Amino acid sequence: MTREPDTDTDEPTADGADTDATRQDPLPDGGATGADDVALDPWGSSTVSDYRKLFEEFGIEQFEEVLDEVPDPHYLMRRGVIFGHRDYRAVARAMRDDDPWAALSGFMPTGDPHIGHKMVFDEIIWHQQQGGDAYALIADLEAHSARGLSWDEIDEHTRNYILSLLALGFDPEAGDLYRQSTNREVQDLAFELGIEANFSEFQAIYGFDGETDVSHMQSVVTQMADILYPQLDEPKPTVIPVGPDQDPHMRFARDLSTRMRYFKVTDAFASFELTDTERELVAIAYDHREEYAEDLDQPRCGEAGEWLADYETSAGEARDAAVEKLDNAGKEPLRPRTRFLDRNATDAAFDALVEEIDGEKRRYEAHVDAFDLDHAEAEELARQVEVDHGGYGFIPPSSIYHRFMTGLTGGKMSSSIPASHISLLDDPEEGYDKVKAATTGGRETAEEQREKGGKADECPVYELYAYLLSGDDDEFAKEVYEECVGGERLCGGCKEQAAELMEQFLEDHQEKREEWEDKLDELDFEFDSDRKRASGD
């Protein structure tokens, strides 16, 4: 979810249609068939060897499919470093239409900020520059409960994270900076979300067991509250930039956001309820009514059931269940309508919703059907009534996913291996030396390199160019790549150029950090935790 964990991957820490035709009930929001077959651990050291698995098994969509809808996309998007998304179209649409929207990410202060974190800093800053409400948080409760860091350690790292974020361009006057431990609204929301969560879910999603600390479990619902926090004032599309290991948080947050809603809006065809798969089949039967209905304008459920019984489909069980419901309804007209299901609504909110529906409608004990509203209009009406009557009206949060950075020594980038990563606090000369010593995707000899070309796609140094050193200059990044794979660029000169650029970047960054150092007292942010007294720090 929204965290930048201090793990070997060092990526950020913290929906949905049923994709299985034979499934009668939808998977939890955001789930996809097979999602439980592969473990993504938000606190572990997971890496993704094949990003295609995320599309197939977890329902993450390819970002290139939405790229053209994004105004002035960030270079990480253009270069495929940001490779996947969940529901980013909602954010892109709000961006284009100048509607309210937000971006949020959080950072677990367990070590120095480094170039892996910079990628997420940049994503938040870019979204802020595009007009979104930007939120950046320090996940200090999570660091204390899940990592066991003392509050003194947390305070030191917190200061460094905030300084780098500001030095890279985050505008604190236009954005929102906070730490979990001092944000009462987040803690109160976490309490409410906890009512909708249960221990069996924590077991299934995170592998928690009888040895898991209660505070660790509490940090999860706090993280869910962080994700939804930008919507407390008003519901709006919100994007959370994360690494793919944090997707379990995103799926859970989307699911909880739906459970908190007063109403669920679905399509319906008669007075009885259908599962998603059953509804699809009944829709097919309705579309073929000319084959069986005596009155095309008013086909009967029983007629549709007889036709559907002979319909060939792999979803046999769902078909049989739908046929039984249609047969039981007999002569009731089969008629499309939009349904509002009472999920958590107060009596006053339900009555208000019924009153607000224009046109023909039919009220039942736990739902109301509208015959003159389309689905989008119904969703907006349900959300507005909910907010007017004290509900949240949450829009399921969106997410974008970026690739893991390879360690400079090859393999995983690890905070525990200094040579594998470059800290934003490293002396510029040390940064230069680390790049010079980095593993490359070069051939055994210069002659072979010239003949066959380098393997830029497997090169940690080229990643530095693509992720950081080329900045917004796509032509430069492309030039480095093509010269490498074409055999014109040798590793020695390539590393020298990258090392010099890294040294210059660190010099510039640390100068800007020093400028902000003198202005930290002006921020509305508590750098020294008052919790250290209670914990004995």
pLDDT at residue 12 tops 60: no
Q: Is 402 helix (H, G, I), strand (E, B) or coil?
A: strand
The model's pLDDT over 201-231, given as tens digits with 9 standing for 90+, comes to 888 888 888 888 888 888 899 999 999 999 9
What is the value of pTM for the model shown? 0.85
pLDDT category at 42 given cuts 50, 70, 90 is very low
Domains present along the chain, CATH in parentheses: 51-261+398-402 (3.40.50.620), 264-389 (no CATH), 428-520 (1.10.240.10)
What are the beta bridge partners of residue 13? 3
Give the pLDDT of residue 178.
97
For the chain, report the end-to-end CA distance as a whole number of angstroms: 28
Structure tokens at 234: 């008003």
214 φψ region: left (φ > 0), alpha (ψ -120 to 50), beta (else) = alpha
Q: DSSP 3-state helix, strand, coil percentages of the chain (rounded to 5)?
A: 50, 10, 40
Percent of all residues in the chain with a pLDDT value above 70, rounded to a whole number: 88
Q: Please state the separation of Cα 176 from the chain's center in Å.
A: 19
Tell me how far apart the alpha carbons of residues 287 and 281 are, in angstroms, rounded to a whole number: 10
Are the CB atoms for 151 and 537 separated by under 8 Å? yes
What are the beta bridge partners of residue 105? 136
Beta strands in 5-52 (DSSP E): none
Tell me how far apart the alpha carbons of residues 1 and 225 are, in angstroms, rounded to a whole number: 11
The model's pLDDT over 128-181, given as tens digits with 9 standing for 90+, comes to 999 999 999 999 998 898 888 899 999 999 999 999 999 999 999 999 999 999
For 4, half-sphere exposure in the C-beta direction (CA atoms, 13 angstrom radius) is 32
Q: For the chain, what is the radius of gyration of the CA atoms?
A: 26
Supply the DSSP symbol for 407: P
Give the pLDDT of residue 57.
74
Three-state secondary structure readout of 217-262: HHHHHHHHHHHHHHHCCCCCCEEEEECHHHHHHHHHHHHHHHHCCC
pLDDT at residue 334 tops 50: yes
pLDDT at residue 415 tops 90: no
Phi and psi dihedrals of 82, rounded to 5? -85, 110
Give the pLDDT of residue 533.
58
pLDDT at residue 4 tops 90: no
Mean pLDDT, the chain, as a whole number? 88
The model's pLDDT over 388-399, given as tens digits with 9 standing for 90+, comes to 999 999 999 999
Helix (H) or strand (E) holding 127: helix 115-129
CA distance to 152, 326, 460, per residue, from 529 (Å): 8, 62, 38
Tell me how far apart the alpha carbons of residues 294 and 224 are, in angstroms, rounded to a whole number: 52
Q: Please state the separation of Cα 171 from the chain's center in Å.
A: 23
The model's pLDDT over 134-143, given as tens digits with 9 standing for 90+, comes to 999 999 998 8
Range 92-107 average pLDDT: 97
CA distance to 29, 88, 170, 262, 274, per residue, from 393 (Å): 16, 19, 29, 8, 24
Supply the DSSP symbol for 306: H
27 φψ region: left (φ > 0), alpha (ψ -120 to 50), beta (else) = beta
pLDDT at residue 33 tops 70: no
The crossing angle, in degrees rounded to 10, of helices 184-196 and 247-259 is: 80
Q: Please state the separation of Cα 274 from the chain's center in Å.
A: 30
pLDDT at residue 335 tops 80: yes
Tell me how far apart the alpha carbons of residues 374 and 399 are, in angstroms, rounded to a whole number: 27
Residue 148 CB neighbours (<10 A): 10
Kindly report which listed range (344-358, 407-421, 432-446) carries the lowest average pLDDT score. Answer: 407-421
Residue 532 CB neighbours (<10 A): 14
Higher-pLDDT residue of 466, 33: 466
pLDDT at residue 2 tops 50: no
Are the CB atoms for 483 and 458 separated by under 8 Å? no
Give the pLDDT of residue 110.
87
Q: Is 368 helix (H, G, I), strand (E, B) or coil?
A: strand
